[in-house]
Structure 1
Amino acid sequence: MSLARSRAGHEGPTRGRPRSEAVERAIIEGVMKLLEDGVPLGDLSIERIARTAGVGKATIYRRWSGKEELFLDVLRAAEPPDPVLPGSSMRDDLIVLLESLRQRGLLNRSSAILHNVHAQMKSSPRLWAAYDSTVIAPRRQQGYEVLRRGVENGELRDDVDIELLNDLFVGPMLVRAVLRPESDLPADLAEQVVDTLLEGLRPASRDVPGF
């Protein structure tokens, strides 16, 4: 998805000349270069970004209202795409969701951009709130939907709190991937987490095929 289209739902109609995706990409990559060089978010002025990207400040302001909106697009561009769920079973979908978190954990450890930005972003409550609402919340909602389908399909007990259960699945992966960056992230970690939890969450009335 292009950067211009990714923001289509968050802004009104464009005015003046059509957006140039090449220019937008140059600006995004200019910010990435500065972050890779270790420049703190607070030191990234629009003037400095424009100079690095080889554009004028007005060019940036035609596309973003300020640094926070620009930084959100930088984060979206730096992260891997959201996973496509197979839809074959709740178990399979959960494994794909947790595997995407494991991959993000590996990327955080190797990406200077994500490591730098995520470490500093919480010092800006507005930026963190925008990131949470546009990036984290949709992923959380996706997990809720997978679990609700599991209940409807008889793959999961119907007496569980879906939001709590989502935290139980996601929590171990986040601890390993984010809170304990020195810990292993083995290739089968998603399967281990999902199968361990599902062992105690299957419906008691019947055996579910595939487990």
Structure 2
Amino acid sequence: MHTEPTAQATATTHPAPTDPACDALDGGPATELCAPRRGRPRSEAAEQAIFAAVEELMEAGRSLSDLSVERIAAAAGVGKATIYRRWPNKEALLVDVVARLEAPAPVRTSTDGSVRDELIAMVEYMRQRGLAKRSRWMLKSALSQMNSWPELREAYQEQVVRPRRAMARAIVRRGVEEGVLRSDLDIELLCEIVIGPILLRTVLWDEAPLEDPGLPEQMVDAVLNGVAAPPPDGRSR
């Protein structure tokens, strides 16, 4: 029988498998995903062993669909009950694992910084995520496998992608309220205008350059300042 590893780590309440983007949510269905799960205190050592087991199984060539709770528990040296105390099902566990492989999302702890700085941080996060997907084959493999596993893809969208999109909307909405961004355009359209260029490079164009750390600032400033050339006579349009 497998036993749960002992650890001296301080027991903590494990948050739902989202990211700090939840700080930006202002209510709605996604807010529930950001609330701490109720239940028994966690063993950090057991949790790390479970994460490591999933990654090792993936490195050994196992597909996500092959990773049963029984197989993960055996590889981690814990009982199945240890896993189910932390995650309601396999999909929730795998979403957590994939999110750990990605670059950490920016934290919105306050609105003290400028809208420009927050937009740059968001684009920089997406640049780092794109670099991680290129350099970590496990992440790229996991994300591609989600397309053939509807339940896992939906769980990932609900618990990771949508809260991050909510954060982008919150930043853009703040920009409109402060007069930094135009108020006559739909919020979703503004988000697409700001985030679209980096999404193009990280999702559609696998070989597009991402190495330049100044790229997020350049992209954001191009949006904020406009890309139209001044008229030849120097007068405003």
TM-score, with structure 2 as normaliser: 0.75
Query: Distance between the aligned counterparts of 2:84 and 2:223, measured in 1?
Result: 48
Question: Are 1:189 and 2:212 an aligned pair?
Answer: no
Give structure 2 stretches of 5+ with no counterpart: 1-10, 17-33, 228-237
Question: Are 1:5 and 2:28 an aligned pair?
Answer: no
Question: Are 1:70 and 2:79 an aligned pair?
Answer: no
Q: Per residue, is there more helix in 1 or in 2?
A: 1
Alignment of 1:27-38 (within 5 A): 27-38=50-61
Shift of 1:4: 4.3
Percent identity of the aligned residues?
A: 49
Shift of 1:173: 0.6
Contact 1:109 1:115 in 2 (8 A): yes
Change (3 A) 1:65 1:154: closer
Cα root mean square deviation, aligned: 2.2
Q: Which is bigger in relative contact order (C-alpha 8 A, separation at least 6)?
A: 2
Q: Between 22-31 and 36-45, report the one with greater CA deviation.
A: 36-45
Question: Are 1:114 and 2:126 an aligned pair?
Answer: no
Query: Distance between the aligned counterparts of 1:198 and 1:157, measured in 2?
Result: 10
Alignment-mate amino acid for residue 205 of structure 2: R
Alignment-mate amino acid for residue 104 of structure 2: P
Alignment partner, residue 116 of structure 2: 91
Alignment partner, residue 6 of structure 2: none
Alignment partner, residue 209 of structure 1: none
TM-score, with structure 1 as normaliser: 0.83
Aligned length: 197
Alignment partner, residue 198 of structure 1: 224
For each residue in 1:10-54, what CA deviation from the matched residue of structure 2 results, as whole angstroms up to 9, or x when unmatched? 75x426xx4322111101110011123332111112222122112
Query: Distance between the aligned counterparts of 1:108 and 1:70, measured in 2?
Result: 19
Contact 1:50 1:60 in 2 (8 A): yes
